[in-house]
Chain A
């Protein structure tokens, strides 16, 4: 008893000393002077869908969930895995069983310890058809044993390949060997869930006051469509190492209004509207930042039976792709640090080396000449009529117009442009009622397969209905290979020749970011940022 009291007092003293270190105003590692007010306020475009780790489906919701909850692993500023609730893991020889050792000092915000059972509960909950999670399929990406049967309701969630050996040992059994399994544990849907809170409050368990979470922050306020506020969780195991006290997400739909409010000092971070990066990077060079993102902008051809005959000819697809001058789109239209794309997978993807595809190596003049030649070979030297659809947006419109002009001038192709409202567009595209359609794709995890799965014949995302047996085989082999990179490289080479889609550019993120807020993880390609790693320096 005495010992416990003493230990408690010591712990309090340590907390006090380190807390006063912030109050004294210097960063414990870098020694920078810290600002008195450690509040980070940022803009989100839209209201988040949920803060329930197994239910959330949007990016801004997942950002909040990463602050409120902590999974097995976190990512550092470069996107590498670092310990979260798990300290380490071991795996068997064929990489089908993973055993995680959890830290014993992790606590929920109500003081209960975080145990392996909380992960078991969260993962079963994710797979359970009764939860109806939009990310239910993630258990299949993780390759958990029996995931298919559990998802279909044919097996009880307790049969899922995850179990608690003891409170601090989690054992995961996979259907097949999966070398990159540990990478999937930073995804918000794999975070633990507090069964007692879910049972007590049902769907209302994520509301402020009810919510119990194990991350560095707790949700203290939520006014839908206006703001959500999260504040320091005193129970978090690394609360002493956390500097930001409060994080506020403000819903501001209008990008230009958000920029005005940023300029007025109401926000620490907001997106830069298209085309304004050049001027803002001159007027506020310390604040305008740009970084690569794991997203590709492309146009797809309808290669199914309902598609036009001309587009079934590889030469026509190649010609249309070659004739697009990507640099005009990135440098003159978007002007926000985007990079021209000749492969589908962005170069920022982990371990992915962009292959030198032939048409990417040519100059634009050479590509234009080659495009004319290909059209003539295919018998369309007199031109061609095609229809291009995109979802309603000013930027998409500008790009579509620029492309149709390039096609007209260089190849004599007459393009009819049509825009559709988002869901109508997805419906049209998903049912192959198009000729050429716009696409945008962001990776779910930092591995090339999250992009290349799109060109697999039986993929639900393959709206162009492109089918190539060699590609399918290469991708299937890649799944269980220790080094899948050569396969990805080969797939990119094949699609650069078959051209089922026209890669246009790889996205760049750009923010206006308060120069006092540090260190924004610009090198984390997935932009998985954690408020606990950020801090504000004094002016």
Chain B
């Protein structure tokens, strides 16, 4: 296990370095710059601003300075767009928001999705099963940029139960709709995946053997069937989890939650170089970290996998 972790870390460092270099060059290759605007700045003004941010240095030097700043001071640079904030400020503000609604959406999707899938599979071809299949099919294809505004329409305008947006320090009333909007389609996918995987397992020989031994159905499902049925679900969950906790542009945009997703996408539009780099590196690190966690869980859940 320790060996696996060490090996992963050894690979992570060059991976992040390559990610930095590639992103840096791609970013600068995009036409326009952070200070390109409808009303172009006079050359003198532009030169003053570029000098202030070190953008007049050759590209390689800018990159060396950038990486140097991270390694020595953990300084990810300033935002060019939001002049009173650094990248560290932006991440410190956006990441907690994103982590909270991302994690809650994940829990919402997994708990509801797995339960729905298992119950549907156990009661295959029952009325509940048909209902579950129909509902999940619908929920899976409903994109969150449609679902978000519909939720606001229902819960804010018609029922007046929940505020239509904002984060409000993570107040539960503000969290509910983002979590449902982000989690629902994943919940549906998880339910469908769980159902089909469970059905397959329930038809397999070792379950038949267990039934023949007279083990109660409840024990068979909980003790014998659930764990192997979860394998395909877990390989699906790993990227979903990383995706959820790294933020959603749509959720941030529809619900004004102020999470990282919005900053990330907008930094690309604004050519806010340092913000884009900072969030890319953060997401890259999170992806590597959680992939490692998933590999560990794999080894624990499936005895056939050994590292």
Contact = CB atoms under 8 A, between A and B. Distances in A.
Interface of A: 47, 49-52, 55, 129-130, 132-134, 136-137, 140, 151-153, 203-204, 206-207, 223-227, 250-254, 256-257, 260-261, 263-264, 266, 421-424, 426-428, 430, 440-441, 444, 460-461
A132 B152 contact: no
B165 A50 contact: no
B291 to A, nearest CB: 29
B12 interface: no
B41 to A, nearest CB: 6
Nearest to A58: B81
Contacts of A204: 84
B90 A224 contact: yes
B66 interface: no
Interface of B: 30-33, 35-45, 48-49, 51-53, 81-85, 90, 93-94, 148-149, 152-153, 156-157, 160, 163-167, 252-258, 262-263, 269-271
A458 B122 CA distance: 77
Contact of B84 (A206, A252, A261): A206
B83 A253 contact: no
B30 A136 contact: no
A251 B45 CA distance: 29
A132 B165 contact: no
Nearest to B83: A50
A423 B262 contact: no
A207 B89 CA distance: 12
A137 B45 contact: yes
Nearest to A421: B269
Contact of B164 (A130, A251, A257, A421): A257
A226 B258 contact: yes
B194 to A, nearest CB: 33
Given A224-B82, A251-B256, A461-B39, A261 B48 contact: no
B41 A134 contact: yes
Given A52-B83, A226-B256, A424-B30, A260 B45 contact: no
Contact of B165 (A261, A422, A427, A428): A261
A513 B85 CA distance: 32
B160 A264 contact: yes
B253 A253 contact: yes
Given A132-B51, A253-B262, A444-B39, 9 more contacts: A49-B82, A132-B49, A137-B45, A151-B44, A252-B165, A257-B149, A257-B254, A422-B269, A461-B40
B82 A430 contact: no
B40 A460 contact: yes
A426 B38 CA distance: 7
B31 A427 contact: yes
7 contacts: A130-B48, A134-B35, A225-B258, A226-B258, A251-B256, A260-B157, A421-B269
A8 B93 CA distance: 44
A136 B41 CA distance: 9
A441 B90 CA distance: 31
B45 A49 contact: no
Contacts of B44: 136, 151-152
A264 B156 contact: yes
Given A224-B258, A260-B152, A261-B156, A423 B271 contact: yes
A265 to B, nearest CB: 8
A266 B166 CA distance: 11
Contacts of B165: 250, 252, 257, 261
Chain B CB count within 10 A is highest, among A133, A137, A254, for A254
A45 to B, nearest CB: 11
Contacts of B148: 257
B32 A264 contact: no
A283 B148 CA distance: 25
B82 A250 contact: no
A255 to B, nearest CB: 11
A134 B84 contact: no
A132 B85 CA distance: 15
B30 A423 contact: yes
A132 B54 CA distance: 12
B215 to A, nearest CB: 53
A47 B41 contact: no
B45 A134 contact: yes
Nearest to B159: A264
Contacts of B256: 225-226, 250-253
A427 B37 CA distance: 9
Interface-centre pick from B35, B83, B85, B252 (highest chain A CB count, 10 A): B83
Contacts of B255: 257
A46 to B, nearest CB: 8
Contact of B83 (A140, A203, A264, A422): A203
Given A52-B84, A253-B256, A426 B48 contact: no
Nearest to B45: A136
Contacts of B269: 421-423
Nearest to B37: A426
